[in-house]
Amino acid sequence: MTAALQAPAAELLLDVRGIHKSFGDQAVLAGVDLVVPRGSVVTVLGKSGTGKSVFLKCLAGIVTPDAGEIRFAGCVLDTGTPAARAEFRRRCSYLFQSNALFDSLTALENVALPLEQTTQVPNAEIRARCLEALRQLELERFKDRHPGELSGGMQKRLALARAIVTRPELVLFDEPTAGLDPLRRNSVFEMIAKYQRQFGFTAVLVTHDVPEALAVSDRIALLDSGRIRFQGTPGEFQSSEDAGVHAFRDSAAALHEAIAAVRRGEAPAGEDFL
């Protein structure tokens, strides 16, 4: 297991310590520790059903952890009061797996929602900021269209425009490429890398797309059995000899070997992931 990043507290936007979350008698998170340097892209990998989305929702304040501590910009995150929740919502955006766009609203109206709900910005400035966000994501000429009139890739960009219009310090991405074909997956990761660099926000992603995550991320974490089994650079992830990292990272190679064994008439032994 790679040790947690050693960095001065001022350089960390998020410092997560011992997060636990259970639903009934099922423990999903069993003491998750994670550090996220300011201005970085950190990806949390893991098999389906390991609690990646639950962990992200804990970071966003959508789900309340049973125990543990989340420090945001050096301060313990407390979303228990309306004022604290509003302040955090202003500084953090959450990109849902499904985009969570409102079909009855135009693109411009969708982007305006977080400003209308979390700020006292005048209407004229809201419109100007929304048009600028749409322009930066090459959607300005579609401002009056509804989400159903846009392609899947355009909907993803629209969701990102809504996420960045508040000028957040942190953007959380929940399985941003779920259900997409390989070319569209690449486009989404390229979009995240481009706009994270352009706007300077810190990004935390959860996904199981290993090659793409290695390409876009500054740091990689592997969530396994309710804990972070590994966290480090993509290079450290690729060279890690940890058995859990090896099984997840090299699953495609293992599949090729298993299929080759089947074709040779052998019965390959391997872990059943289903």
How confident is the prediction for the chain on average, in pLDDT?
85
Query: With bands split at pLDDT 50, 70 and 90, how would you rate the model's confidence at 6?
Result: very low
Q: Tell me the per-residue pLDDT of 178-218, one tens digit each, with 9 for 90 and over.
A: 777 788 788 888 888 888 988 899 999 999 888 889 999 99
Residue 29: which region, alpha, beta or left (left: phi > 0; alpha: psi -120 to 50)?
Answer: beta
Q: Quote the pLDDT of residue 109.
A: 95
Q: Quote the pLDDT of residue 166.
A: 86
Residue 18: which region, alpha, beta or left (left: phi > 0; alpha: psi -120 to 50)?
Answer: left
Is-contact 13 202, C-beta < 8 A?
yes
Task: Please state the rounded mean pLDDT for residues 23-33.
Answer: 94
Q: Quote the pLDDT of residue 1.
A: 45
Give how far Cα 126 sits from Cα of 47, 102, 119, 122, 220, Å: 40, 18, 10, 6, 36
Is-contact 160 168, C-beta < 8 A?
no
Please spell the DSSP secondary structure of 42-86, one letter per residue: EEEE--TTSSHHHHHHHHHTSS--SEEEEEETTEE---SSHHHHH
Does the structure show a pLDDT above 80 at 254?
Answer: no
Does the structure show a pLDDT above 50 at 5?
Answer: no
Does the structure show a pLDDT above 80 at 255?
Answer: no
Q: Tell me the per-residue pLDDT of 241-252, one tens digit each, with 9 for 90 and over.
A: 888 888 888 765
Q: Quote the pLDDT of residue 47.
A: 86
Q: Tell me the per-residue pLDDT of 110-135, one tens digit each, with 9 for 90 and over.
A: 999 988 887 888 999 999 999 988 98
Q: Quote the pLDDT of residue 183.
A: 80
**Element housing 255 (H / E):** helix 251-263
